[in-house]
Structure 1
Amino acid sequence: MSKYLLNKFLFTVDRDPELVERYREEPRATVEWWESEYANRILGSHSGESSTWLRFDDIEREALAAHDYPKLFELGAHPFLTLTLFIAMFERDYAEPLGFQLEYAQRLSHHTLPYPDIAT
């Protein structure tokens, strides 16, 4: 398991409006594509630098493909990264203000302190 890779996915997808929409509409295909094309790119590198060892495990891949943000939280994905990305994808589906944020809080409300470790 790699909290770094989970957070890298959330961070990079959230910063590209086209990737946000792609992830919303085709989550499994987007996760597979991102993992093969971007997982091993070094953040901030403009020279094509990459590594070769980073891969999601089956649980991470499935949580991402299922948009399962409670599971991502349990796996140690940073809550600010999950919240901002999933707001971008799903807030429009709610009529009431803060509708998605309220659902997010409710679905994570069974967690008590200490929360899962988010250190990478």
Structure 2
Amino acid sequence: MSKYLLNKFLFTVDRDPELVERYREDPAATVAMWEDAYANRLLNCVQEESSTWLRLEEAERAALVAHDYPALFELGAHPFLTLTLFIAMFERDHGPMGFQTEYARRVAHISMPYPDIAT
């Protein structure tokens, strides 16, 4: 399992408003496109500098496609990266602080110490 790649997805998608909307509307296609186009691209480098071997694990891919942020958190996704992306996608569907409250409720079953978020 690659917590690095999982967190890289959250980081890169959250920083591109078009990708945020695409991920909200069609998560399966967005995850597949991102894995093909971005997964092996080095952060902050030109596209020509890339690797060829990074792929999401099936559990990571399934959680991303399902927008299952509790599962992502359990898989080791950084909670701040997860929260900021899902706020960008779903805050508009809730009242003030509504999504943050829902996020907290859905991850409340995870007790300290939290899953390791080191990459």
| TM-score for the superposition, normalised by structure 1 | 0.97
> Can you give the 5+ residue segments of structure 1 that lack an aligned partner in the other structure?
none
Match runs of 1:66-77 below 5 Å: 66-77=66-77
Amino acid at match of 1:108: V
- 1:117 maps to 116
Q: Secondary structure of 2:49's partner?
A: coil
- Where do 4+ consecutive residues of structure 1 move more than 6 Å? none
Shift in alpha-carbon separation, 1:116–1:45, aligned structure 2, 3 A:
same
Secondary structure in structure 2 of the residue aligned to 1:84 = helix
Q: Report the alpha carbon displacement of residue 48 of structure 1 after superposing the two structures with TM.
A: 1.7
- In the aligned structure 2, how far is the partner of 1:99 from the partner of 1:32? 30
- Equivalent position amino acid for 2:114 in 1: Y
Q: Distance in 2 between matches of 1:57 and 1:7?
A: 13
Asked if 1:63 corresponds to 2:63, the answer is yes
Could you give the per-residue CA deviations for residues 3-40 of structure 1, whole angstroms, max 9, x where no partner exists?
A: 00000000000000000000000000000000011100
Unpaired runs of at least 5, structure 2: none
